[in-house]
């Protein structure tokens, strides 16, 4: 059974960027929303609070083929998306807005790093897209 991570960090962790909202009662009921509109291609946070994860979990982020980190911040509540408005660049250790302006709305992130890029390149090559 998956147990929701109880925040052990000071909240809000990124008050100039993230507002945490609750959409239902009970566990796994929070999500991140932009506190203010943010221009495209703006670095909004870093992974300075992150620590190595002892195991894979819903709250961890894969940063290499074998390694994961716990963000230890309100970045945990960003939704994953294939059409993101923020990018979690694990090679640079930063979170930035994508190529489009982010109004005050739900943060939907995509995690990118060199390991994921290699997997995407292999997939594209296998599909004849390379």
Domains, the chain, ranges and CATH? 18-126 (2.170.270.10)
pLDDT of amino acid 35 = 86
Token pair in block for residue 89:
């660049």
The reported pTM is: 0.72
pLDDT of amino acid 72 = 93
Percent of the chain with pLDDT over 70: 78
pLDDT of amino acid 79 = 81
Pairwise CA distance, residues 111 & 64, whole Å: 11
Of 9-13, 39-43, 94-98, 115-119, minimum mean pLDDT range: 115-119
Of 6-10, 53-57, 61-65, 107-111, minimum mean pLDDT range: 107-111
CA 47 to each of CA 26, 38, 61, 130: distance values in angstroms, whole numbers, following the listed order: 28, 19, 11, 32
pLDDT of amino acid 12 = 86
Cβ contact 17:73 at 8 Å: no
pLDDT of amino acid 88 = 85
Q: How many CB atoms lie within 10 A of CB 78?
A: 24
Bridge partners (DSSP) listed for residue 86: 97, 109
Mean pLDDT for the stretch of residues 126-130 = 70
């Amino acid at each position: 059974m998956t147990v929701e991570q109880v925040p052990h960090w000071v909240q809000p962790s990124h008050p100039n960027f993230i507002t945490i909202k609750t959409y239902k009662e009970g566990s796994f009921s929070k999500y991140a929303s932009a506190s203010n509109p943010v221009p495209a291609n703006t670095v909004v946070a870093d992974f300075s609070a992150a620590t190595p994860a002892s195991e894979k979990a819903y709250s961890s982020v894969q940063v290499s083929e074998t390694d994961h980190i716990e963000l230890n911040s309100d970045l945990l509540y960003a939704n994953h998306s294939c059409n993101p408005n923020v990018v979690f660049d694990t090679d640079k250790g930063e979170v930035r807005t994508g190529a489009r302006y982010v109004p005050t709305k739900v943060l939907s992130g995509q995690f990118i790093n060199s390991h994921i890029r290699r997997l995407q390149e292999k997939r594209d090559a296998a599909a004849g897209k390379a």
